[in-house]
Amino acid sequence: MQEFVKIITHARRLKSAVKSLDIEQLEEIKEKLELIIADRYEEIEEQKRENEEKLADIEAIKEIMARAEISVDEISGGVSGNGRKGKRAPRPPKYEIYTDAGKHITWTGQGRKPNVFIEQLDMGKSMDDFLIK
């Protein structure tokens, strides 16, 4: 596809590519391109009309909201666009352990288990031994 675009957008390449075609074939290609271009113009105009209608609707809604003294937050209930009320609070740690070096490590029980807990479990301990009370 990129090769086609390179050829059709470069005058000398295009001329070389269509050298073997006769006038009738070139006229047929021209008509097809003109139809494609006309369709594209229609699509652009349709998009413009839709955008204008949408902007008019938005303005009408803004006017209604201003008359009724309604804010966007009141309509959405104070909730952001994705339905959540913001970032949730971090989970409190559920397990804790002190290493031989005296380092205090906590874990919520979610995500990857820290290596110190894995080592202690391999030595025969239970996760219940590390529960924060």
- For residues 17-50, b (16+ Cβ closer than 10 Å) or e, as one string? eeeeeeeeeeeeeeeeeeeeeeeeeeeeeeeeee
User: For 82, how many CA atoms within 13 A lie in the half-sphere containing its CB?
Assistant: 4
Hey, what are 3's tokens?
A: 């090769």
Give residue-wise pLDDT tens across range 26-84. Answer: 999 999 999 999 999 999 999 999 999 999 999 999 999 999 988 888 887 755 555 56
Q: Report the pLDDT value the prediction gives residue 84, as an integer from 0 to 100.
A: 62
8 Å CB contact between 105 and 97: yes
Name the CA dihedral angle for 79, 83, 89, 92, rounded to a multiple of 10 degrees.
Answer: 150
State yes or no: pLDDT of 107 exceeds 90: yes
